[in-house]
Amino acid sequence: MKVIKKRYIVIIVILILLLLIPPFKIFVLKDSVMEEIYRSVKRSYYNINNFEGIDKLDYENVERMLWVSNNNFLFTQFEEDYLNEGFEIELTFLVEDMLNQWNINIQGLYYFSEGVVVNMNMQYNHTTETMIYNPIFIIVYEDDSDLFNSTAYYDEATIYKYLDEYNITKEDIKNYQHYILYDVVYQSWVSGTDNGRKLNKWDYYNIKEVDNTFNFEE
């Protein structure tokens, strides 16, 4: 009887392990969404096109960007119709890894008006698996969004002056960042590579974050 009991215990333990292993693989060993993006683009530049709503890259685009950047980076942006009104989002990928350097740059712009924009920049470091939120700054265009006729403000006083003028709170800025990163970048990759699946916390729970959003220069 004791031998039979032990056999039952062993069988039960094995069944429990079999039930636990798949979720363990999926949720614990699974790469984060940013690691999936990083590794996928490393395998092929054209995997950038897996994002939903992205401005697709073809052979000519890739070759031209590599030539212009001296084989340093590739970039693309999300289509205007894919984004909420007032937003622009651009992705830049470093071609070669560099020590202590970001690998994927996410630049989000939100237009307070035609001539005033807040820049919200985030950078992913593959080595440390960390997303860094860089300090926001304000761009003021003098003439029809002409980048060469604009002024960027990085100091705290001027930034808060424009935030107050347009009734934008710190919470609003954090919501904009969340939209850019989670609702667009993360979600568009998950949807585009997994049959329209919705983003869940297991896609990003192991991404460390460093938030310097309001750490302005002295």
* Region for 13 from its dihedrals, namely left if φ exceeds 0, alpha if ψ lies in -120 to 50, beta otherwise: alpha
Q: Are strands 87-94 and 104-111 parallel, antiparallel or unpaired?
A: antiparallel
Task: Give the residue among 195, 202, 201, 192 at the shortest CA–CA distance from 82.
Answer: 192
Q: What is the pLDDT of residues 93-126, one digit of tens each?
A: 988 776 567 899 999 999 999 899 999 999 999 9
Task: Give the residue among 181, 1, 190, 22 at the shortest CA–CA distance from 87.
Answer: 181
Q: Which long-range contacts (CB under 8 A, 24 or more apart) does 40-47 make?
A: 40/193, 41/74, 41/93, 45/74, 45/93
In this prediction, residue 157 has a pLDDT band, given cuts at 50, 70 and 90, of very high
Answer yes or no: is pLDDT of 41 > 90: yes
Burial class (CB in 10 A: 0-12, 13-18, 19+), 176: buried
User: Token pair of 36, please?
Assistant: 């999936």
Under 8 Å between Cβ of 93 and 72: no
Under 8 Å between Cβ of 134 and 123: yes
What's residue 56's pLDDT? 93
In this prediction, residue 131 has a pLDDT band, given cuts at 50, 70 and 90, of very high
What's residue 69's pLDDT? 86
Give the span between the Cα atoms of 136 and 120, in whole angstroms.
5
Answer yes or no: is pLDDT of 8 > 70: no
Answer yes or no: is pLDDT of 1 > 60: no
Q: Identify the helix (H) or strand (E) that includes residue 163.
A: helix 156-165
What's residue 139's pLDDT? 96
Q: What is the pLDDT of residues 44-102, one digit of tens each?
A: 999 999 999 999 999 999 999 989 888 888 999 999 999 999 999 999 998 877 656 78
Give the span between the Cα atoms of 162 and 183, in whole angstroms.
26
What's residue 11's pLDDT? 61
Identity of the amino acid at 137: F
In this prediction, residue 140 has a pLDDT band, given cuts at 50, 70 and 90, of very high
**For residue 95, how many other CB atoms are within 10 A of its CB?**
16
Q: What is the pLDDT of residues 172-191, one digit of tens each?
A: 999 999 999 999 999 999 99
Answer yes or no: is pLDDT of 217 > 90: no
Q: For the stretch 51-79, what's the b/e string if a residue is b when 16 or more beta carbons lie within 10 angstroms of its beta carbon?
A: bbbbbebeeebeeebeeeeeeeebbbbbe
